[in-house]
Chain A
């Protein structure tokens, strides 16, 4: 019964906490000026620009939970979904630069979405990098009994019947879509892009054989590959994935310049004091060395990052430029 009562009380505490947060989240920001002394002296809000559930949310929660143990301060996950991450990222870009509002940023919020839609923030200048905590390579997958065994098979088919090989994506501007655009332009072939509205319908259509391939992020496809529901053809990145040593890389298959991957990073608003971002970055680096964190990240197909701020400061602008060029060349536009 002891376990039971402790659960109850911890839940009660949690519910009370949440009510408090829901009720006075906005007031909380006003008091930030008073919270001087040692950082962090009050709970930190970690904004996840996606709805609860899904890879970003899960990674944010995992990292947030572990960092809060080290910082000895509560980290509260605040899901602010909408507008292809623009809503959540805007919240952080405009938050006080005191280290109490952080962003789980990455591929969408800091490179592709601001290129496709009108953003109220600058994806680089309005944020202070803390560190990258993971990358998710692209895995080209197909249905189990499909005729495509290698990248060459896919390219040959696309050359023979232009536009008839179909690849699905979770939406316009998703990593899956960008991968498709980059691949077709590098291979000089014409494939049809079939966008879906997030969710998992594209995976069902692939398994059902209605789509030919998907350039999926490894976070989604790793469990499906392990369960034998889809078959991997190639992976992006400099080397093969430890989970799938038999699957060649795009580079090995003749496409050395193919590089699209999801990435996940921690950001603070611009002008956040250096000692605060350094403290956070140090904590992130510690978390990323924990064996159970590494195992969990790898389990969902994420390659753990280093958590170092200078690396992120270099990486993000290069991503932004890469997709600016790709989007311009492929003539993808929103408005």
Chain B
């Protein structure tokens, strides 16, 4: 068996003492950086690159990959503990994870996230090893019409993310779409709504909005409460470990999330993020108690975390088989390979099999280490919540500000985040939820780009969206979803799905 032979070569490389050490170092660093709100893997890897040049290429790549996963793990930790989603895919985790933490179940949420991610990572690694070429062709099947249809479906699904008012959720989606219009028009290179501010020409960074609306807004709201209400963030922390019932609830969700993540992760650009959003929406639809979502449902943590992590694994596929980076982190890794004298591209698999398979196997090793590393740490993270709020919130603010600055080494982003903090506070007060806003903001520009490209390439023929099977099916699904939401005759079902508060 080729696969077993390849995995054998891979583990031989990944399990040497030095490489285990580098994987471990990467995971530790990644986790630490990920836990510092806002500091993402890109800033970390860029910082560490100079020290990597002296390493063996395989070891360096293993370490970089470790940082990448570690940062993702750490990012979920902050999303759950303090409602700071460091990247798009952990926005969903924050929805129910943070609510679990507020109820004193932070330990359970963190353990669920860690175990779900490990399971997804294991499956994801196997999928990468066994089906990389097959999944690459899936990426080829996706042209502009397919991307548009997928994102349209995602946008319709965005209202499902809301646990409160449907109208308010729609308003936030639309506002997100409008904010997403601040950028440079891709067809004509005309800056839109940038008011001659160069920083606005590339649009507002997603992290700026997420930080402002999610974390800063929440902090202001907390400070608005009387002192005795907020002084200790969480009074009682119960059960660090998930109960039997938790396992029963979370496992199927994690499996479904993994599946979705493996598939969607291959798509460049939006893969892992869409996977986590979609899996959340699916769980809410399938659940017998959709009203619990947004109030601390364990499935709402397990599914997106699994999807996110599986997607993170399979998003390596286009890079490994084609040498095409699907994210900024991967572009950095390819750059590092080049400087170390390895020519990236489709030839790596054959010209450098130990590196290729060593990297794949180290993905699993890295995931394993992260579980080992994170489960004992949960106790410490949870203790963090019992720190008096007057110490906790300035620390969060400071780290967030540093994190926002490192996005593009520009203070403009920090000011922007401050503006969104005020906005976030207002939306918090008036009961508008942030998740639909974020989804609209991220999907809007991508949708527009793909819609216009699809029409340009089809010479303005709108039928391209229904004559291509993948896009037609997704648009049909979106239509069905809209009907379910809109039709008054099944509004009872809608009540169930969205738990309208009005």
Contacts and interface: CB of A to CB of B under 8 A. Distances in A.
Given A52-B332, A77-B46, A87-B410, A334 B339 contact: no
A7 B196 CA distance: 46
B347 A334 contact: no
Interface centre among B142, B198, B329, B410 (most CB of A within 10 A): B198
B21 interface: yes
A75 B180 CA distance: 36
Contacts of A332: 189
B12 interface: no
Interface residues on B, range: 35 or more
Nearest to B42: A52
A95 B341 CA distance: 34
B140 A10 contact: no
A51 B191 contact: no
A29 interface: no
Contact of B338 (A84, A171, A229, A299): A299
Contacts, number: 191
Contact of A210 (B143, B335, B346, B449): B143
B51 interface: yes
Contact of A292 (B188, B341, B408): B341
B268 A201 contact: yes
Interface stretch (A147-155, A191-199, A279-287, A314-322): A191-199
B456 interface: yes
A15 interface: yes
Interface in A194-216: 194-197, 199-201, 203-205, 207-208, 210-211
Contact of A226 (B141, B202, B329, B347): B347
A201 B269 contact: yes
Nearest to A8: B25
B187 interface: yes
8 contacts: A8-B25, A22-B406, A117-B189, A196-B449, A197-B186, A205-B143, A208-B143, A296-B339
| Shortest Cβ-Cβ A-B pairs, 10 listed | A223-B345, A227-B346, A53-B331, A172-B189, A58-B335, A52-B46, A83-B198, A53-B332, A208-B140, A83-B201
A79 to B, nearest CB: 6
Contacts of A3: 18
Nearest to A62: B339
A126 interface: no
Interface stretch (B71-79, B302-310, B317-325, B355-363): B317-325
Nearest to A51: B328
B345 A226 contact: yes
Contacts of B335: 52-54, 57-58, 61
A208 B318 CA distance: 13
B334 A295 contact: no
A18 interface: yes
Nearest to A60: B335
Contacts of A96: none
Nearest to A52: B46
B402 interface: yes
B457 interface: yes
B341 A295 contact: yes
Interface in A249-303: 292, 295-296, 299-300
Contacts of B325: 53, 200
Interface residue range, chain A: 35 or more
B323 A223 contact: yes
Interface in B119-151: 139-144
A90 B198 contact: yes
Given A80-B408, A81-B408, A204 B324 contact: yes
B117 interface: no
Contacts of B456: 192, 194
Contacts of B191: 117, 334-335
A22 B324 contact: no
A87 B143 contact: no
A332 B405 CA distance: 34
Contacts of A197: 186, 449
Contact of A51 (B42, B323, B347): B42
Nearest to A116: B189
A311 to B, nearest CB: 25
A99 B144 CA distance: 46
B271 to A, nearest CB: 12
Among the interface residues B50, B187, B328, which one has the most CB atoms of the partner chain A within 10 A? Answer: B50
A196 B186 contact: yes
A296 B347 contact: no
B251 interface: no
A15 B47 contact: yes
Contacts of A146: none
Interface string A114-154: 00111010000000000000000000000000000000000
B339 A229 contact: no
A194 B198 CA distance: 24
Given A79-B408, A295-B341, A194 B453 contact: yes
B331 A10 contact: no
B188 A334 contact: yes
A191 B231 CA distance: 66
Contacts of A120: 198
A224 interface: yes
Interface in A86-103: 86-87, 90
